Every structure is written in C-alpha cells, then in structure tokens.
C-alpha cells in the first residue's frame, strides 16, 4: 500500500498594513491580497481594504490565540492572506502564526508604529525602549522608567494615555513629557502632548502610541538598573533580603535572558523581583506560605515593573510539585524543612544553579554538609553600617549571612543527604 503524503502546510502570507490602508501598500502586498482566496484579519484592518479587493473576508474571533489553528485548518488548501497592523513580527500575529505552523510564513512587512513614531519624534530607534500594554499589565512600564530615557508605549486603547500618566505620577515620574501619536501614517494623523503631572486631555483615537521622555521628580526614590535596589523600594515586614546581600545573591544566581527562577521562602519577593528586572524575558515563581506576605509580594512586583511574577501561596516543598523546571533556585528561608533542599536540588537540570542563604547555625550546618557532598562555594557575607555612637560614629554589624552557591553537574548529583536538623524557628530569616 502506498502511504498517503502528509497534508501540506496552509498557504499563508502575512501582510502588514498601516492606517493609510490600501494606498500605503507596496505592490507585492497588493498582489498577494489579489491572489488570496480568503483574507483573515481584525475588523479594523479588514475595513481598510477597498471594494475592488473582492475576496472573502474573515474577522478574527475573541480570544484570538485559540482561533488561529482552527481557522487555518478550516481554510486548508486555499491561499490565505492574514492582515496585521504594521510589521507583523513586531508584537504582531506573525509570531503566533510561526508557532502554530512550525515554520515562518511568508511575511510582507509594513513600517511599524515604532518606526513611524521615531520618525515623527526624531528619536533613534535603537535608543528607544518599547513596552507594550496590549493584553499585558500596565505595571510593566515601571521597570523601564529611568531619568532621561525615551520610552514608547504600545497602547491598548483610547484610555491608555491617561492610565500611563497616572502610573508616571504614582512612580515618581510626574514631570515626564508625554506625546500621544494617533493614527500614524493616515491623512488624519494627530499628535497631542502634555506633562504627566497635569495630564487632563480627553481620550482620543484608540489607535495610538505614547511617547514618554522620562523625568524623575526630585524627591522620588532613585531605582537603578542593577540588582540591589534600596530597601525602601519594598513594602515589607522585616522579611527582606537586605540591599547588599541581595546584590551579592543576584550575582551568584547570575540571571540570563529567558531563564526561570524559583524563589523559595519569598518574604517580600525582592530576589524574584530583581531577577525579573534584569531582562524582560526573565521569569520567576516565588513560593510563600503566608498569605499576607504573598499579597505583599504581588504588590511589590507590580510597583517595581514585573507584574508577571507568579506568586504561589503554600508551604514548600509540597508547593513546588507543579512548578515548571527552573534554571535557578534561591532558598531564602525554611532551609531545614524536611525534604526542601533535596526537592529543589532534584528539580534542577544539569547546569542549573542553586543559591541558599541562612543566618542560623542549624541551617548553616546543613549547608556545610551539602557543600561537602556537592561542592560549589560556601561563603559568609558580613555587612556593617556606620551609626552614631554618642557624638562619634561607629559600626553596627548586621547578622552575617552564610551563602551556598552551586551549579548542578552530572558527576556530583547522585546520592541523598539525610542530615535534617529541627526546622528553623523562624523560616525566612535570611530574607
């Protein structure tokens, strides 16, 4: 019996279109639309096609992502044109189609909103940071706020400019200049501007991008780009990895783009927050057994620009069972909970990193035994602060922190370690 050949991939061409519609399309894009049997797109994009483009039109349903494979399969064997706003590979449908098809479709890009906006503003594209809030939390903007930086926000609608202005005021960037560029590329393109502190303009067109020239208020807390944010940046109840220890801990964890962290014994969430702030693609789960602290972690994450931080409320190691495989694990509290360290170690793949901090002798003994068996680095971190002593100045020593840092390798990953002292009286003390 001759086997049947596999079904061919759908014939898909993705066409970028701007607010100028048909008139702004290149000849290759017009030809692709003319040759298509069906055109799929958003209602606004389909409305830009003239009557002369006589082809079946199908609007994307909501939610979009689950509908993509269904519609492609429904039109298999036909030439499909997919309309996208601007550059389909810039926060557009092109990425989703590539994931669904398994191979990149043919893509005919149009200038993106980023290119249009930077051309109007005179901003260099490579020096302009972009944050999208389309289907994403507004709090993501906070991680990109630095004095003097130029930022473009891809808007979710007509109300987004006012929401951005309110966030800027709340985060200490009220003096920032804002320009809202509407319907870029169209004949009725418009730009309105103002300062976040006094923003009172009514909602305009839903198709807009927001340009922000960041200016920090003189009395606002300065937050740098490197790990080790001021302790005052966090809401906490004392369960906080302090600034200098936090910077050393993030250095040991060595986050890289796209990596996933488990932060076990989250406390105030500072390690997970600053892990995610190192790169927009970094991800983290923080595990905290106290619901009050878990809520506090979520607020810290939103305020500091990483609202995608996942907070798991529960006791480890049981709460770790359903989490995806981590690239790195930080244990900041509860080290002597039965099975915790072993569960974290077993979850790591070869090449994964584990960092554990403690201030108690019992947990230090456990780390010393793991260090003896697994290797890595065992260090003691001590920080002292200058404080008034009468009319003079002296040093006040903080509790020293013992830190074990290790990379899992195949030749040092076998055999259990049974040493398990009584549980710490105050899990999370090192955080």
- Check pLDDT > 70 for residue 340: yes
Q: Quick one: average pLDDT of 116-142?
A: 96
Q: pLDDT tier at 9 (50, 70, 90 boundaries)?
A: confident
Selection from 107, 96, 112 nearest residue 28 by Cα: 107
pLDDT at 7: 56
- Alpha-carbon distance of 5 to 123, in angstroms, equals 52
- Check pLDDT > 90 for residue 416: no
pLDDT at 421: 47
- Alpha-carbon distance of 17 to 88, in angstroms, equals 9
- Alpha-carbon distance of 113 to 133, in angstroms, equals 14
Residue 307, CA distances (Å) to 40, 60, 92, 124, 131 in order: 32, 28, 22, 28, 13
- Alpha-carbon distance of 111 to 202, in angstroms, equals 28
pLDDT at 290: 95
Query: Which tens digits make up the pLDDT trace of 150-172?
Result: 999 999 999 999 999 999 999 99
- Alpha-carbon distance of 333 to 263, in angstroms, equals 10
- Check pLDDT > 70 for residue 1: no
Q: Quick one: average pLDDT of 252-270?
A: 97
238 versus 7: the higher-pLDDT residue is 238
Residues 64, 85 contacting (CB under 8 angstroms): no
Query: Which tens digits make up the pLDDT trace of 372-401?
Result: 999 999 999 999 999 999 999 999 999 999
Q: Strand 177-182 and strand 208-213: pairing?
A: antiparallel
- Check pLDDT > 90 for residue 18: yes
Instruction: Enter the DSSP assignment of 15.
Output: E
Q: Which run of H or E residues covers position 273? A: helix 270-277
Q: pLDDT tier at 8 (50, 70, 90 boundaries)?
A: low
- Check pLDDT > 50 for residue 431: no
- Check pLDDT > 70 for residue 5: no
Q: Which run of H or E residues covers position 313? A: strand 310-313
- Alpha-carbon distance of 30 to 27, in angstroms, equals 5
Query: Which tens digits make up the pLDDT trace of 308-320?
Result: 999 999 999 999 9
DSSP secondary structure letters along 57-110: EEE--SSSTTHHHHHHHHTTTSEEEEEEES-TTSSSHHHHHHHHHSSPPEEE--
Q: Quick one: average pLDDT of 13-27?
A: 94
Query: Which tens digits make up the pLDDT trace of 206-237?
Result: 999 999 999 999 999 999 999 999 999 999 99
pLDDT at 333: 87
Selection from 213, 214, 241, 216 nearest residue 229 by Cα: 241
Predicted TM-score (pTM) of the model is 0.89
- Alpha-carbon distance of 12 to 29, in angstroms, equals 13
Q: pLDDT tier at 52 (50, 70, 90 boundaries)?
A: confident
- Check pLDDT > 90 for residue 188: yes
pLDDT at 177: 98
- Alpha-carbon distance of 197 to 170, in angstroms, equals 10
pLDDT at 427: 38
pLDDT at 10: 84
Selection from 349, 354, 356, 357 nearest residue 329 by Cα: 354
Query: Which tens digits make up the pLDDT trace of 72-86?
Result: 999 999 999 999 999
Residues 347, 322 contacting (CB under 8 angstroms): no
- Alpha-carbon distance of 7 to 199, in angstroms, equals 56
The pair of three-digit structure tokens given for residue 224, joined into one six-digit string: 């740098």
Q: Which run of H or E residues covers position 194? A: strand 190-195
């Amino acid at each position: 019996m001759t086997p049947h050949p596999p079904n061919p991939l759908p014939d898909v061409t993705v066409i970028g279109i701007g607010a100028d519609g048909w008139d702004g399309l290149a000849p290759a894009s017009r030809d692709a639309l003319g040759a298509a049997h069906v055109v799929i797109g958003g209602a606004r994009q389909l409305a830009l096609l003239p009557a002369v483009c006589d082809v079946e039109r199908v609007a994307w349903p909501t939610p979009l992502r689950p509908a993509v494979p269904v519609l492609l399969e429904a039109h298999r064997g036909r030439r499909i044109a997919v309309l996208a706003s601007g550059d389909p590979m810039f926060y557009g449908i092109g990425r989703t189609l590539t994931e669904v098809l398994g191979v990149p479709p043919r893509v005919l890009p149009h200038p993106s909103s980023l290119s249009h906006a930077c051309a109007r503003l005179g901003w260099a594209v490579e020096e302009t940071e972009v944050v999208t809030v389309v289907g994403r939390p507004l709090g993501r903007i906070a991680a990109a706020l630095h004095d003097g930086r130029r930022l473009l926000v891809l808007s979710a609608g007509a109300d987004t400019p006012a929401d951005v202005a309110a966030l800027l005021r709340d985060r200490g960037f009220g003096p920032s200049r804002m320009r809202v560029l509407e319907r870029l590329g169209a004949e009725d393109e418009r730009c309105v501007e103002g300062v976040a502190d006094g923003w009172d303009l009514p909602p305009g067109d839903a198709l807009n991008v927001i340009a922000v020239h960041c200016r920090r208020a003189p009395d606002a807390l300065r937050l740098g780009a490197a790990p080790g944010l001021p302790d005052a940046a966090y809401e906490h109840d004392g369960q906080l990895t302090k600034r200098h220890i936090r910077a050393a801990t993030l250095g040991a964890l060595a986050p890289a783009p796209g990596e996933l962290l488990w932060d076990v014994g989250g406390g105030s969430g500072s390690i997970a927050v600053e892990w995610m702030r190192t790169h927009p693609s970094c991800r983290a789960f923080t595990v905290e057994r106290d619901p009050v602290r878990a809520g506090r972690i979520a607020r810290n994450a939103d305020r500091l620009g990483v609202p995608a931080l996942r907070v798991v409320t529960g006791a480890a190691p049981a709460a770790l069972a359903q989490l995806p495989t981590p690239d790195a694990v930080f244990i900041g509290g509860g080290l002597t909970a039965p099975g915790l360290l072993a569960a974290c170690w077993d979850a790591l793949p070869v090449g994964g990193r584990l960092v554990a901090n403690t201030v108690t002798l019992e947990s230090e003994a456990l780390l010393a035994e793991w260090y003896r068996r697994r290797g890595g680095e065992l260090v003691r971190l001590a920080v002292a602060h200058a404080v008034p002593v009468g009319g003079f100045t002296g040093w006040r020593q903080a509790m020293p922190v013992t830190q074990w840092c290790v990379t899992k390798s195949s030749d040092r990953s076998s055999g259990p370690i049974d040493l398990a002292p009584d549980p710490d009286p105050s899990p999370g003390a090192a955080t």
